[in-house]
């Protein structure tokens, strides 16, 4: 009994510390840590999980029929796995196509796979992926309720930014994914994604937090989760960007 009281006291103190750090501005828990550790039993009592959305929002334009969309994505994934169009294929363990729900109204586009992604064949599964998952659930979506992919499907050496010719070689895969899904909103994670979705010129400034369009789809450009791990002070403006995405989708702000 004494151990339980002590655990509750420590949990309450931790929550108060979080509130003090956040300054009462209502920023969700993805602001607080990069990797979502498995919650203790007492944490589950004190901090309920976000509720999944209840009513789906129709796509801005009719998406491909489910069977046709799934078939198209399978064909693209198979072609990406065998692609040798640029030098990135020489160092890959496997190509990294996508994860999540292709029937969603929201797509996140990142830069390229890292070490963990190359090993598992899925995008955003390392520390940056853990943070992205917290961002997604903070918005009220299930972890796999959105679609997540990258500009390039093979890992660049030392996780460097993809070169223009590498992104160009992979462009048919990204274009095919977005054409098949036709989400209402795309979130471009980082400058590389923003540039390759036509939201900013190479070297341009002021790209974060701006609305643009890609083939008639609204695009919000914001910082990449990997950048937020290095510079956590920018998590608050990213949350503002994500709240603007929810407003665009007509969803409540958690």
Strand order in the sheet with 185-189: 98-100, 147-150, 106-110, 185-189, 217-222, 211-214
Banded model confidence at residue 72, pLDDT cuts 50, 70, 90: very high
- What pLDDT was estimated at residue 116? 95
Grouping H, G, I as helix, E, B as strand and the rest as coil, residue 222 is: strand
pLDDT in tens, 83-128: 999 999 999 999 999 999 999 999 999 999 999 999 999 999 999 9
Helix (H/G/I), strand (E/B), else coil: 106? strand
Q: Measure the CA–CA gap between 91 and 183, rounded to whole angstroms.
A: 32
Mean pLDDT value of segment 19-26? 38
In a domain, 76, yes or no: yes
Q: How far apart are CA 154 and CA 92, in angstroms?
A: 6
Q: How far apart are the first and last CA of the chain?
A: 35
Residue 82 counted as domain residue: yes
More confident residue, 205 or 21: 205
Residues of the domain holding 242? 64-249
pTM for this entry: 0.76
* 9 within some domain: no
Whether 144 is covered by a domain: the verdict is yes
Tally of domains within the chain:
1
For residue 104, being part of any structural domain is answered with yes
**For a pLDDT cut of 70, what percent of the chain falls above it?**
74
- The chain-wide mean pLDDT, for the chain, equals 83
Residue 49: inside a domain, yes or no? no
Distance CA 152, CA 168 (A): 9
- Read off the pLDDT of each residue in 16-25 and give the average, rounded to a whole number: 38
In a domain, 32, yes or no: no
Asked, for residue 243, whether it belongs to a domain, the answer is: yes
Give the CATH number for residue 93: 3.40.470.10
């Amino acid at each position: 009994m004494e151990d339980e009281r002590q655990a509750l006291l420590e949990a309450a103190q931790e929550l108060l510390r979080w509130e003090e750090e956040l300054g009462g501005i209502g920023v969700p828990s993805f602001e607080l840590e990069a990797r979502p550790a498995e919650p203790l039993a007492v944490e589950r009592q004190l901090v309920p999980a976000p509720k999944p959305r209840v009513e789906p929002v129709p796509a801005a334009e009719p998406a491909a029929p489910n069977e046709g969309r799934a078939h198209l994505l399978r064909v693209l994934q198979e072609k990406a796995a065998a692609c040798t169009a640029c030098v990135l294929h020489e160092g890959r363990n496997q190509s990294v196509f996508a994860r999540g729900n292709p029937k969603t109204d929201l797509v996140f586009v990142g830069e390229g796979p890292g070490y963990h992604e190359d090993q598992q064949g899925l995008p955003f599964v390392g520390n940056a992926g853990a943070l992205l998952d917290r961002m997604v659930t903070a918005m009220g979506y299930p972890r796999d309720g959105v679609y997540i992919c990258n500009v390039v499907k093979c890992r660049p050496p030392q996780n460097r930014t993809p070169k223009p010719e590498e992104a160009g070689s992979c462009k048919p895969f990204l274009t095919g994914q977005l054409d098949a899904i036709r989400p209402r909103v795309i979130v471009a994670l980082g400058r590389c994604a923003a540039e390759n979705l036509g939201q900013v010129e190479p070297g341009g400034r002021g790209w974060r937090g701006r609305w643009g369009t890609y083939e008639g789809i609204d695009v919000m450009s914001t910082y990449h989760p990997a950048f937020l791990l290095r510079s956590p002070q920018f998590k608050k403006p990213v949350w503002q960007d994500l709240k603007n995405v929810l407003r665009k989708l007509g969803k409540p702000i958690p």
